[in-house]
Amino acid sequence: MPLTVAYSGGADSTALLLACAQKWPNQVAAVHINHGLQAAANDFEVHCQQFCSALGVPLTVMRVQARHQAGQSPEDAARRARYKAFEALAHTGQAQTAIKTIAIAQHADDQTETLLLALGRGSGLPGLSAMPAQWLRCGVHYQRPLLQVRGADVRAWLAAQGVGFVDDPSNADVRFTRNRLRAHLLPVLAQCFPHFHDTFARSAAHAAQAQALLHEVAEQDLLLTGVPPKIKALQGLSTQRQANVLRHWLRHAHATVPSSAQMHELQRQVAACSTRGHQIHLKIGAGMLQRNETVLHWYNPAVLT
């Protein structure tokens, strides 16, 4: 199948699956991830199976372990488990149909919430860019075709189709920050800035454009510094470009992101490397970074042990 829809059984993914099945008959499949985090998880799975059967859409169900670890949010743990499941389906051939493109039903309201969460964390441009409309990860093409559609419009269309869906009770649990934003902050923003969804989306797009430019600069600077980066070459860069290329290297080579304080200390140590005897041994992101003769070396102690 050319397109697989990530289908939770909720309103948004139901609308996306139905719209895709109507537009491309017999060319759409669905995948349901059972996180096992709620008592109703198995009921959600049964609902998805029944709806896909009635729609004539092949469904693949995957059950994952999505319990969060210490210091990890439940939302992040569930998200990571989902993407691992998607990638497993794409590369092991366990799906009923080969997965090449996965469509996800996040919409304009979700985009606004993502931007607000990033602002609350003090994120840089990658976070302020919010969610991309499309991207490639581990050989799988992902699409978010509803990012410019309001959640209310999605539900209104679904109601007009006369189609039912499951209502996840966790979406109303204000213990989760995203739900508190949805319940308390977004209504106030709507009163102050009636078109805030559109203006926030433009700001996220501007941040994404700026981040793309920084990505290009970092790629050019990596050619200069090498991989892993040479300390002497790093010292020849401006403070801003040095931080940019170091973040880029750590993110893309080691899937880790340093905090602002960690980056500041790393740059201070790089600047201090004027003799062969100067050592670097810092916690950076999820692992440790040290000097290895003329270059920087990052490693995860947990993996080594």
Please check whether residue 227 is in contact with residue 297, taking contact to mean a CB–CB distance below 8 angstroms: no
Instruction: Give me the phi and psi of 73, to 5 degrees please.
Output: -75, 150
Q: Two tokens at 8?
A: 């939770």
- Structure tokens that stand for 304 in this block: 């080594």
User: Tokens 């799906």 — which residue?
Assistant: 95
> For residue 109, which amino acid is it?
D
| pLDDT for 62 | 85
Identify the pLDDT of residue 68: 55
CATH 1.20.59 describes domain 226-304: yes
- Spell out the domain ranges in the chain: 3-187, 226-304
Distance CA 77, CA 57 (A): 28
Residue range 177-203, pLDDT digits in tens: 889 999 999 999 999 999 999 999 999
Q: Roughly what angle, to the nearest 10 degrees, separates helices 239-254 and 260-272? A: 110
Q: Name the one residue in this structure whose structure tokens are 């998607």.
A: 86
Place of tokens 């980056």: 263
Q: Do domains 3-187 and 226-304 have the same CATH topology?
A: no
* Residues shown for the chain: 305
Q: What mean pLDDT, rounded, does the chain reach?
A: 88
State the pTM of this model: 0.83
pLDDT in tens, 87-119: 877 776 544 445 588 999 999 999 999 999 999
Q: What is the pLDDT of residues 193-230, one digit of tens each?
A: 999 999 999 999 999 999 999 999 999 999 999 999 99
d(CA 173, CA 233): 50
What are the angstrom distances between the C-alpha of 41 and each of 37, 67, 296?
Answer: 7, 14, 46
The predicted-structure confidence for 125-183, as pLDDT tens digits, reads as follows: 999 999 999 998 877 899 999 999 999 999 999 999 999 899 877 777 788 888 999 99
Round to whole Å and give the CA distance between 247 and 234: 12
SS3 28: strand
We find that the CATH architecture of domain 3-187 is 3-Layer(aba) Sandwich (3.40)
Give the up-direction half-sphere exposure of residue 91: CA atoms within 13 A in the CB hemisphere: 11
For 5-9, 37-41, 81-85, 226-230, which range has the lowest pLDDT when averaged over its residues?
A: 37-41
Q: What is Dmax (Cα atoms) for the chain?
A: 73
Query: Does residue 19 register a pLDDT over 80?
Result: yes
Structure tokens at 99: 């997965």
Q: Calculate mean pLDDT across residues 253-273.
A: 92
pLDDT at 95: 47
